[in-house]
Amino acid sequence: MADLGFFSCRRGLIFAVVFLWFSLICIRESAATGAFPTPPNCGKLECPSYDVVFSGKDFEIRRYKKALWISTPPISGNSFQNATAKGFGPLFAYIEGKNAKSKKIGMTAPVVVDISPFAGTFTVRFYLPRKFQKKPPTSSEVRAETWPGPQYAAVRRFGGVLVDPIIPIQATLLREAIRGSPFEEAIIARPGGPTTYTIAGYSSPDERVNHINEVMFLF
């Protein structure tokens, strides 16, 4: 009888572990339901890969795979538009062949801009295609860097043309969307935080409508 009791308890424990494992999978899958759709430009341009691990109201949490991006040095200023225009030029020249190997590199999406408002700096980045991830051509004007440093990103998607007045507004809206969520403590470490954020633009400058942009807090 004791043996029967032992096996009954063991079977019950196994069942409980399997049930818990299955429940966690279901929770994770349901949390990712409703993730932002893939931007149309990622159908014709190469885009960085990530997994959506949580989808909340007006934002989602992504886990990015670290990859090489070609980046400008920090650009000083107080205008997103001016900094992006200044950074885009040398990056585009690089992928058009102005590099140590005179290699043409395919355009990718999105164009990413890291913003540090208190430092007054902007860093503009292009994702490097898989073909050039291991050994990208060098350049004296731009450099290959691993991005993102942190593995996770809280992301809010929005439309419209990327102009100076809407950038801080979108960062504020993302901050407010995160408040009260399970990620608030990890992302908003203190009142007014975080102090840096990222803007990603998936749309070509030639596109007049249906722009797809994102604001991100890395953590």
pLDDT at 18: 32
Please say whether the beta carbons of 65 and 133 come within 8 A: no
Please say whether the beta carbons of 59 and 154 come within 8 A: yes
| CATH class of the domain at 40-218 | alpha beta
What does the domain layout of the chain look like in residue ranges?
A: 1-33, 40-218
Amino acid making up residue 12: G
pLDDT at 3: 44
Q: Which helix (H) or strand (E) holds 8?
A: helix 2-32
* Bridge partners (DSSP) listed for residue 217: 154
The tokens of 205 are what? 């400058």
DSSP-assigned letter for residue 46: B
pLDDT at 168: 95
pLDDT at 209: 83
Please say whether the beta carbons of 159 and 108 come within 8 A: no
State pTM to two decimals: 0.82
Give me the DSSP letters along 149-195.
SSSEEEEEEE-S---TTHHHHHHHHHHHHHTTSTTHHHH--STT--S
pLDDT at 187: 93
Spatial distance between the Cα atoms of 202 and 29, rounded to a whole number of angstroms: 26
Beta 152-158 vs 60-64: how paired, if at all?
antiparallel
pLDDT at 114: 97
* SS3 call for 59: coil
Residue ranges, the chain, pLDDT below 70: 1-34, 190-193
Spatial distance between the Cα atoms of 108 and 106, rounded to a whole number of angstroms: 6
* SS3 call for 53: strand
The tokens of 67 are what? 């990859």
